[in-house]
Chains A and B, each alone.
Chain A
């Protein structure tokens, strides 16, 4: 009786280990498999010059920017409802849609952007803001980014209704070339909302 009980226990133990291996195998397949497969596919898609990118969840809560020459889209970091990640040579540019909780004054937007940048890019700090106005006439603020061997520019432009805004962040390893700065500023200047209201 004892030996048959022992055999049953050993058989149960063996079956348990087999099931454990199956479970672990499935977990590893999902957790590591998708990311590994992801690395095999190229991430960059060239964006045609003068393309219009639409960012935002749905009309009328969307904004549009016009992209100049030489930009590529980083597909795995892009979700048109929330943000675009672009690259041009050594610079990376992020366009992010922001839903504002209430009619925040611009000072709150810049303070919020400073904290968001501290979160996204540790060691990179934001300068004091300067006012800007886009081609559509929307008010915003811009400033420079520096720290941790990186430099760039940042801007935040709010819809006049102050319910949504768009952040544009450009970062690169120092130094920033005038051409890249001009390209980023061109995107910021082209920013427009579906209605100016």
Chain B
């Protein structure tokens, strides 16, 4: 068994990725402002209300998705980076891409067909690709953060959440005009109740979580053929989930439930695989003396780790323990990823 010291050196290529991602986020923000700033000028109260009503979803969503990653949460800064990508670069570019493609449908096959099907045939293609690009950017900008499909899934969910929040806001704003400006605040609230309360659990975060898992497969298999096949399959599944969601059928609860079940089953499978590998690696660490048996019993669970910290004797032991835990967990994460990579190669 080997150990690897994982460091993120900011070499020029990584800096280029980060700058490009930042530039695309700025571009996306500019597009969104160009499209929607006027709402803030003409309907300031309802516009601010539309944003405020989405904040609980935003904060709770990020907290839950980070919590769902077993053993330890993904780095906060890269979680926020994925969120910002979804909310700005992906959302802004999708606005332009969808406008273009939907207009193409309307011009080429007629407005009646386009009214029913254009969104279903445009958004899955444009939005899923643009959102999953955010997960790819995290892989490129922070090489050690996404090590496998579970990481990809969590970052995909966060990216999709950012996109979903912005989309909810824009739908809320659009509903002001669609209701003739007669009761803007009520229009915004109705929109939020529908999009968050009714469709929220089966919306964008589920789709990008699945697509993000595909990127994680690609990373863990080091771009081998099986990784590419899995990545493509996950992206196509995400697009199919999106097509189902946007399709002009009335069974909304069914659509929402199907998407939630797909992501739920995938999560449980990936989580179980990850925890199984973690337990094997931990046992090897104990056998080789790198980690003591009492220490190994409290590493996997966040709650147990926090309890160990609270129960540590005051003094140097309590000061050193957090660093020790982080160091050992980092080593275990690397070994788990290595184990997955070697298993596939040997298989």
Contacts and interface: CB of A to CB of B under 8 A. Distances in A.
Q: Do A and B come from one complex?
A: yes
Interface of A: 9, 12-14, 16-17, 19-20, 23-24, 26-27, 30-38, 41-43, 73, 75-76, 78-82, 97-102, 104, 108-109, 111-116, 118-120, 122, 156, 165, 167
Interface stretch (B129-137, B149-157, B288-296): B129-137
B279 interface: no
Contact of A165 (B111, B180, B183): B180
The dominant DSSP class at the A interface is helix
Given A23-B140, A38-B101, A108-B182, 13 more contacts: A13-B13, A13-B14, A27-B89, A27-B133, A30-B97, A30-B126, A31-B96, A33-B100, A37-B100, A75-B110, A101-B179, A104-B183, A116-B180
12 contacts: A13-B12, A19-B140, A23-B136, A23-B137, A41-B107, A75-B111, A75-B114, A79-B106, A79-B111, A100-B180, A115-B43, A120-B177
A30 B129 contact: yes
B112 to A, nearest CB: 6
A14 B13 contact: yes
Interface in B286-318: none
Nearest to B96: A31
B187 interface: yes
Contacts of A165: 180
A62 B30 CA distance: 36
B190 to A, nearest CB: 7
B106 A75 contact: yes
Given A34-B97, A100-B179, A73 B111 contact: yes
Contacts of A33: 97, 100
A38 B107 contact: yes
Interface in B323-337: none
Interface string B238-277: 0000000000000000000000000000000000000000
